[in-house]
Amino acid sequence: MKITKLISYLDELYVEPYCALNFSSDYELLVAVILSAQCTDKRVNVVTKELFKLANTPQKMLDLGEDKLKQIIYPCGFYNNKTKSILSMSNDLIERFNGEVPSSLDKLISLKGVGRKTANVVIANAFGGQTIAVDTHVHRVSKRLNLTSDNSTPYQCEMDLLKVVPIDKRSRFHHQMVLFGREHCKAIKPQCNDCKLKNICQYYKNKAKKN
C-alpha cells in the first residue's frame, strides 16, 4: 500500500521529527505559528527571541501595541496582517478564554486570525493531539504522490490524509512530511533520483514521460 511505503520511508529518513519553532508556552507557539506563514522557522525564531522577552502573554502583547509589534515582526514579512492577527487573537483569548489557549480545533479556529493549519500545529505540539496540519510542503508532497488531487484545497488534502494515515502516526507524519518537502521533495529541483518513492510518485512518472 502506498501510504505504508511512504510512512516507512519517512521513518527511515526522520527518526525523531520535531517542530522547529522555539516556544515555551502554548501562547508562544500560537504566536510563532502565525508568524511562520510564508516565512522560515529560522527567521521566526530570531524574531520571537526578542519578541517574547517583551510580550509572552496575551495581555503583554496587547500592552506592547500595534506599532511596536509591527516593528519587531517586520523581518517575518506580511507584518501588517500578522500584527492584526496576533492582536485580535490575543484579545479573543482574554475576552473569551481567560487568557488561556484552548485545546480544541473548533475553539482555536474561532479565534480571530487563527486558521485550520495554525490550529492543528498548536494541537499537535502544545497538547499532544494527533492531527495533520497541511502547509505548503505537506500539500505539495501529497499531490505529487497522488494522495490528494492536483486541484485540492489544503482542507481537502487534510481530509484525504486523515483517511489513510493511522491515528497514532498523524502528528509525526506531519512533521516528517514538512521536513521531506523542505529537504528532498522541494518545490524547485526535487531530489527525485535519490528518492525511494519514485515508483509510487505521480510527479516523477509524469516527468519521466516528458523526458
pLDDT tens for the chain, 211 residues: list them.
Answer: 789 999 999 999 999 999 999 999 999 999 999 999 999 999 999 999 999 999 999 999 999 999 999 999 999 999 999 999 999 999 999 999 999 999 999 999 999 999 999 999 999 999 999 999 999 999 999 999 999 999 999 999 999 999 999 999 999 999 999 999 999 999 999 999 999 999 999 899 888 777 6
117 is catalytic: yes
CB 58 within 8 A of CB 93: yes
Retrieve residue 117's grid coordinates: 493549519
pLDDT single digits (tens) 7-23: 999 999 999 999 999 99
Find the catalytic residue in 41, 49, 135, 189: 135
pLDDT in tens, 38-60: 999 999 999 999 999 999 999 99
Report the predicted TM-score, pTM, of the whole model to 2 decimal places: 0.93
Give the pLDDT confidence score for residue 10 in this predicted structure: 98
- Please pick, among 2, 117, 196, 205, the residue that the annotation labels catalytic: 117
Return d(Cα 195, Cα 185) in angstroms, integer: 9
Helix 136-144 / helix 154-164 crossing angle, nearest 10 deg: 60
d(CA 29, CA 124): 11
Cβ atoms 92, 111 nearer than 8 A: yes
- Residue 71 host element (H or E): helix 66-73
Distance CA 32, CA 48 (A): 7
- Whose grid coordinates read 517575518? 76
Cell 521531506 sits at which residue?
180
Question: What's the pLDDT at 211?
Answer: 63
C-alpha cell at 139: 500539500
Secondary structure of 10-29 in HEC code, one letter for each residue: HHHHCCCCCCCCCCCCHHHH
